[in-house]
């Protein structure tokens, strides 16, 4: 059975978790993985679907925040400009971004033959982390078929975490990293809402991790070395069912950094740290005929609960990515210890 932060008595913040304690507590959101682990190949693809319909036709309102931009993602410029997402989000390793991008474009065209003909082109959204230390990244093992399989594997409900999908070859704070997820419940005007996070963790130097109880684990039993360059990355996907517009979502995305900071991250020069936030409550009709549209929005003076939820869910999702994986041997015998084993010792 997969272990999470709560199984080890680690609690992040004060808000209640969702029923699944995952990004899929937001109705309609689906997650799927394809994992490659054979020999020196330790990599994969993770797909996040904001809803199960035609995303190009029914775009979700979104925003991104680049905490530190040492990354090779695709699609962020248009998300920033137009404030929408119109394809599923794919996460993978750095050199597999082109294959995943091509698959998203082909899938969108298959659903919408007018793309690039009588209507606009499509903005594929792919984010990455470098799993090179544990994976033969030069083999470029991920193909379009793997990306498609991850899309087809996407389901609502429980999210598989740890060394799966895009997280297969990732390292976090010197321990084995990977995929993690968590969620929070919020009450607004007497109704229950959710905010959830899914993270791909590949950041942080050994010894820098600070647990909610104050302990500072080190996989080798040493201490942090401040002179060590921080070269990792993290991708954070935040989702909510609260009605927001893109500017509010950018503010939400920015608060994910607070969750990272609580754990000891300082977003080093060589780190690619990116947060993307979307809401399922407001969609944009690609074929909208009227000049004006109406949207319900969260009162700006009531944003604090959402900000808190974003930070707490991000922090717990990172811990879940660490605690859901066992000791791992990657490319060339490269070893990564498990944080769960450290806590049990």
For the four alpha carbons of 96, 273, 34 and 147, in that order, the dihedral sign comes to negative
3-state SS string over 121-171? CCCCEEEEECCCCCCCHHHCCCCHHHHHHHHHHCECCCCCCECCHHHCCCE
Catalytic residue among 73, 96, 183, 271, which?
271
Q: Which residues pair with 47 in a beta bridge?
A: 32, 90
Catalytic residue among 273, 310, 324, 338, which?
273
Tokens representing 227? 């002179």
Q: How far apart are CA 314 and CA 78, in angstroms?
A: 24
Task: Evaluate whether 135 touches 163 at the Cβ level (below 8 Å).
Answer: no
> Distances in Å between the alpha carbon of 192 and those of 169, 253, 286, 322?
37, 21, 29, 29
Q: How far apart are CA 67 and CA 236, in angstroms?
A: 10
Residue 233 known to be catalytic: yes
Residue 73 known to be catalytic: no
Catalytic residue among 64, 96, 233, 321, which?
233
DSSP codes joined into one string, 258-298: HHHHHTT----TT-EEEEEEEEEEEEEETT--SS-------
Residue 273 known to be catalytic: yes
DSSP codes joined into one string, 65-82: EEEEE----BSHHHHHHH
Q: How far apart are CA 146 and CA 166, in angstroms?
A: 11
Q: Pick from 201, 164, 198: which is nearest to 182 by CA?
A: 198
Cα-only R_g, the chain: 19
Active site residues: 233, 271, 273
């Amino acid at each position: 059975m997969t272990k999470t932060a709560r199984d080890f008595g680690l609690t992040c913040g004060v808000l209640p978790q969702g029923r699944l304690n995952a990004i899929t507590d937001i109705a309609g959101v689906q997650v799927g993985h394809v994992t490659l682990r054979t020999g020196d190949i330790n990599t994969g693809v993770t797909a996040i679907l904001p809803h199960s319909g035609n995303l190009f036709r029914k775009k979700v309102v979104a925003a991104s925040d680049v905490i530190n931009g040492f990354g090779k993602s695709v699609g962020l410029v248009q998300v920033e400009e137009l404030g929408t997402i119109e394809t599923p989000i794919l996460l993978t390793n750095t050199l597999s971004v082109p294959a995943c991008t091509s698959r998203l474009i082909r899938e969108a065209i298959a659903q919408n033959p007018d793309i690039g003909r009588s209507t606009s082109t499509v903005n594929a959204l792919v984010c990455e982390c470098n799993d090179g230390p544990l994976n033969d990244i030069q083999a470029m093992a991920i193909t379009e078929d793997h990306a498609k399989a991850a899309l087809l594997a996407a389901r609502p409900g429980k999210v598989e975490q740890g060394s799966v999908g895009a997280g297969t070859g990732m390292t976090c704070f010197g321990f084995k990293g990977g995929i993690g997820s968590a969620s929070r419940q919020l009450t607004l005007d007497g109704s229950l809402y959710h905010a959830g996070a899914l993270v791909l963790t590949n950041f942080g130097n050994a010894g820098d991790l600070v647990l909610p109880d104050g302990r500072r684990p080190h996989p080798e039993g040493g201490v942090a070395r401040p002179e060590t360059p921080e070269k990792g990355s993290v991708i954070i996907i935040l989702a909510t069912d609260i009605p927001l517009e893109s500017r509010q979502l950018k503010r939400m995305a920015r608060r994910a950094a607070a969750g990272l900071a609580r754990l000891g991250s300082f977003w080093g020069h060589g780190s690619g740290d990116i947060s993307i936030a979307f809401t399922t409550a407001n969609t944009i009709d690609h074929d909208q005929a009227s000049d004006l549209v109406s949207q319900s929005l969260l009162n700006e003076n009531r944003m604090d609960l959402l900000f808190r939820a974003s930070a707490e869910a991000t922090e717990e999702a990172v811990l879940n990515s660490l605690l859901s994986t066992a000791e791992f041997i990657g490319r060339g015998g490269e070893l990564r210890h498990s944080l769960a084993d450290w806590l049990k010792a």
